[in-house]
Amino acid sequence: MANYSDNTLKPGSRLKSSKREYIIEEVLGQGGFGITYKASWQTVVENVPVKIPFAIKEFFMSDSCERHGGNNSQIVYSNPVKDKVEEARSDFLAEARRLNSLQHQHPCIVKVNEVFEANNTSYYVMEYLDGSSLRRLIHKSGPLAEQEALGYILPLAQGCLLYTSDAADEARS
């Protein structure tokens, strides 16, 4: 579990899309252009309450944005960086659309459930894959044997090639 900073949505925060209301559970990771959360959606299946997990990626440029407003949820940025932030947000949305269009073509490309805007920013909702990371596996067990490493690397490389080739095609059009 990642640490929470002033720039993350806190556990219990709610995100509403046109389809659902998600409840933020924890931060999975943060980078220069976004924050990824584990969230859940509550529903009922034949009178049984069900909590379905999702991963939600939020566009948040850490060097240009701040969080204000009710529940510290609204993202704000100043006029001098407006063009830079809005261009990066457009790239973020293009990434979500690209993932959505490729998700059935390769098992290493995450499934995107929906894309929405709220809190003066954009989000995309993905399947939540519960498990450990390759980093944790190596830290716990040490270096992988060549064949085992290739078992991870080759499928990932194929997914990356499909993704980057689609991005190049999109840039040319």
| pLDDT (tens digit per residue) in 15-58 | 999 999 999 999 999 988 899 999 999 999 999 999 999 999 99
Give the relative orientation of helices 82-102 and 146-172 as an angle to the nearest 10 degrees.
Answer: 120
Please state, in angstroms and rounded to a whole number, the distance separating the CA atoms of residues 142 and 149: 12
Give the start-end residues of each E strand in the chain.
14-16, 21-30, 34-45, 48-59, 66-68, 74-76, 112-118, 121-127
Please state, in angstroms and rounded to a whole number, the distance separating the CA atoms of residues 62 and 60: 6
Please state, in angstroms and rounded to a whole number, the distance separating the CA atoms of residues 34 and 9: 12
The answer on pLDDT for 1 being more than 50 is no
Question: Which pLDDT belongs to residue 172?
Answer: 63
The answer on pLDDT for 149 being more than 50 is yes
Task: Output the six-digit token pair for 107.
Answer: 């098992």
